[in-house]
Structure 1
Amino acid sequence: MTKSSSNLVSNQKFDIVVVGGGSAGISVTASLLKRDSNLRIGIIEPGEFHYYQPAWTLVGSGDFDIKKTRRPMQDVIPSFATWIKSRVSSLIPSQNAVELSDGEKIYYDQLIVCPGLRLAWEKIEGLEATLGKNGVTSNYAYDFAPYTKELISKLKNGKAIFTQPPMPIKCAGAPQKAMYLSCDYWLRHHTLKSINVEFYNAGAVLFGVAEFVPPLMKYVEKYDAKLNFNSNLVKIDGQAKKAWFEVKEADGSIRKIEREFDMIHVVPPQVPHDFVANSPLADPKGWCLVDNKTLQSPNFPNVFSLGDITSTPNAKTAAATRKQVVIVAKNIISLRKNQPLESFYDGYGSCPLTVQQGKIVLAEFGYGGKLLPSFPLDPTKPRRSAWALKASILPRFYWAGMLKGTEWMTRCTDS
């Protein structure tokens, strides 16, 4: 059975301490224990629930049950790992220690930093006061994704706005996926012609991998959506149904514009947790600094990181985590045996772009935008099989496989 934190004593030491009980933390713990069941692993995680976030896009379109995306944390903590139900206040790698919010220190031989990132809702003025009402929604939260479906089903005419903040964010395609599925719903219900759809992107391009832009543009044109680049949402007034954007001009100057809406799907800015950003493990931007291939800290060799918190220049997706788990698990075992690290991450990430109900462009790519398709098919073509993968196969595998240490479709480079 999973050991709880209630039996912990001050200054307890583990072979491995894992910071974070999300996709990365649970999966890497399970993979390590499959390799060595005698490892003493502590998982520091304050949350009561574990979430399957990739399905929230489908929840927002009415194609997935929100209740199936959440389970009690106790049910997913791997057997024989110790759940330390607390918050981290600081990382002290010089002492091989993690300090908790109550002042207690937990010590380790190896540390895995994977708390994910933080959704900075507060960085958009007025957003927290109106989120989940007044036509303001977001698929980036369990509590609000169902409201997206409510809004798109009720909207018959007017203006719908979809936003994307500055990078990096988790699942960079999710902001536009919400737009595509909403437009598809309105198209199928013969209301799209009465709805003015606009996408405001803080970036300069629709998608970061050029090969996928042409097929996506076909859907932008099909849905008659207006694209606005270099436009960052900074303020919102839900009751007045108004939003303000800072627009970066070609000469670098910034002007603020005001737009009205009937519905707005907001994606919040996303930042590292303070306890990582303020630690010796952070890069200048606050992310956990690691070698892009080994996922090992260059300054503290007994520290590894994976998931959304890392400094690696890959897409922050659950699919990336799935591949990173294997790299970290193998390399930590090698390190513990005083052997060279021989497993290398190629930057793999996957973004299933839900361009319409029942069809997905399965974008898979690695460092530098290199295409890394898992199947011998044209990756830029929308496919029903990709929809089945996202909507049916992957959620079941996540709960029954990935979180249990099953390493399916996790090729990595071994020297």
Structure 2
Amino acid sequence: MRSSVVQLAHARLLIVGGGAGGLGAASKFARKLPQNSVAIIEPSERHYYQPGFTFVGAGELRLADNQRNEEDLIPSKVKWYKNAAKRLVPENNSVILDNGDTLTYDYLVIACGIQPRFDLIKGAPEALQLEGSGVCSIYLPHLAEKTHREIQAFKSGNAIFTFPAGPIKCAGAPQKIMYLADEIFRKRGVRDAAKIDYYTSLPKIFGVEKYAQALDKVVKAKDITLHARTVLKEIRLNTKSAIFDVYNAEGKPSGETIESKFTLLHVAPVCRPIATVSECSSLVDAAGFVDVDPETLQSRKFTNVFAIGDTANTPNAKTAAAVSGQLGTLEVNLKAAMNGKPLGSKYDGYASCPLLVGGNKVILAEFTPKGPLETLPVNQAVPRSVSYLLKRYIMQPLYWHGLVKGYWNGPTTIRKILHFGRSN
């Protein structure tokens, strides 16, 4: 076992956060810089493959199948501070740890991710904690397991699935678990006794029009009712009621509310940066995300600070696939900054969301803020078994052996080959 007691010192490169982005960056630069030049701050001893939580919720994978020991993922050349970062002080090139110690750096990569905020929904924390409440979520490890138990216990009534207003990890996940629950209900013979509703803050079922059109067909075929521009605000467990704000065309609460009874309620929470990040006013935007150039990933104020993954205010969807694309840009630009050269790489906003729609088929959504950017030379909005095989059996090994090891920078090269050099 690696000791968690280390000599506090100055780091050439300090990384805050040991998730996908932090580990990927640490792995890349551990291969470029001398021993102990790179340090990572991460208090967690377990690392989860979060895209697998959908399969955990559906009972197709165990939680243990989606986790690794953090120490096994951190390169041996990297110093590991098994602490939480309490305060970022970019003006002094330093980070204060939760034990009061201070680390200094030449360059900083912020990769803290975002956290689900169930506390912003009245009654949600209590309902999620109570076994058999019917309230569940795949957005935390133990709750993903609870989701499976609640879906299995469902016999009849209203099954409600929600999508919040604001940033969220993997915007397709609330739909994925809904389609898999529908499939489970059918296999168990209780689908005819179930009414499934999807409440979303969006004006349509998905943010990218091409995939929204395909998903509209899915919900109609499955007899799922879509409620657009609605946001869960309260759970009343004593009456098994979910209270929704109705939003107007400007994306603001209209003052009208909807009350809906439920037997099963899956909660997808809005996600926010951790307090350590959001409280550093010199680094963040008004929403508390690290303010970076969306193409170079460099801080707009501090040239020796970069951010990667969900904690950055880049306009892409917040997915592991987005991290892969950002890692390639970070590698080039951070190396250039260290050598006093211009930043030469631009992140294009790529993200991917493999939408499980049941029947061992997936709509393989790949896109940027400008629209679809697909890798395969076929229409990926069509549900396909081959896309399911990629999601179920390829993407997790690619994550463990490619992404967090700093070898996988997304499918750009593969896309160019399959499209004969064209971007799409």
**Normalising by structure 2, what TM-score?**
0.92
- In the alignment, what sits opposite 2:126? 129
1:222 partnered with 2:224: no
- In the alignment, what sits opposite 2:387? 386
- In the alignment, what sits opposite 2:96? 99
Return closer, same or farther for 1:342/1:156 CA change in 2, 3 Å cut-off.
same
Q: Does the 8 Å CA contact 2:160/2:196 hold for their aligned counterparts? A: yes
- In the alignment, what sits opposite 1:19? 16
- In the alignment, what sits opposite 1:355? 357
The size of the alignment, in residue pairs, is 409
- In the alignment, what sits opposite 2:152? 153
Q: What residue ranges of structure 1 are gaps of 5+ in the alignment?
A: none
For residues 314 and 247 of structure 2, what CA distance do their matches in structure 1 show?
27
1:139 partnered with 2:138: yes
TM alignment of 1:316-355, pairs within 5 A: 316-355=318-357
TM alignment of 1:1-400, pairs within 5 A: 4-9=3-8, 12-38=9-35, 40-132=37-129, 133=131, 134-249=133-248, 253-279=254-280, 280-369=282-371, 371-400=372-401
Aligned partner of residue 344 in structure 1, secondary structure = coil
The code of the aligned residue for 1:121 comes to F
For residues 258 and 116 of structure 2, what CA distance do their matches in structure 1 show?
24
Aligned partner of residue 7 in structure 1, secondary structure = coil
Q: CA deviation at 1:52?
A: 0.3
Q: CA deviation at 1:222?
A: 1.2
Return closer, same or farther for 1:169/1:90 CA change in 2, 3 Å cut-off.
same
The code of the aligned residue for 2:184 comes to Y
Q: What residue ranges of structure 2 are gaps of 5+ in the alignment?
A: 417-424
Return closer, same or farther for 1:383/1:245 CA change in 2, 3 Å cut-off.
same
Moved more, 196-205 or 230-239: 230-239
- In the alignment, what sits opposite 2:419? none
For residues 385 and 249 of structure 2, what CA distance do their matches in structure 1 show?
40
Q: CA deviation at 1:149?
A: 2.0
For residues 385 and 35 of structure 1, what CA distance do their matches in structure 2 show?
37
For residues 378 and 408 of structure 1, what CA distance do their matches in structure 2 show?
23
Moved more, 399-408 or 159-168: 399-408
Aligned partner of residue 218 in structure 2, secondary structure = helix
Q: What percent of counterpart residues are identical?
A: 37
Aligned partner of residue 144 in structure 1, secondary structure = helix
Q: CA deviation at 1:351?
A: 0.4
- In the alignment, what sits opposite 2:420? none
**Normalising by structure 1, what TM-score?**
0.94
For residues 255 and 174 of structure 2, what CA distance do their matches in structure 1 show?
23
Deviations 1:224-254 (A, max 9, x none): 1111122111111334322211112469621
Aligned partner of residue 90 in structure 1, secondary structure = strand
The code of the aligned residue for 1:306 comes to I
The code of the aligned residue for 2:145 comes to P
For residues 214 and 229 of structure 2, what CA distance do their matches in structure 1 show?
21
RMSD of aligned alpha carbons: 1.8
For residues 401 and 368 of structure 1, what CA distance do their matches in structure 2 show?
27
Q: Does the 8 Å CA contact 2:328/2:409 hold for their aligned counterparts? A: no
Q: CA deviation at 1:78?
A: 1.6
Aligned partner of residue 113 in structure 2, secondary structure = coil
Q: Does the 8 Å CA contact 1:294/1:343 hold for their aligned counterparts? A: yes
Q: Does the 8 Å CA contact 2:242/2:261 hold for their aligned counterparts? A: yes
Q: CA deviation at 1:407?
A: 2.2
Q: CA deviation at 1:130?
A: 1.8
For residues 284 and 143 of structure 1, what CA distance do their matches in structure 2 show?
32
Q: CA deviation at 1:39?
A: 6.1
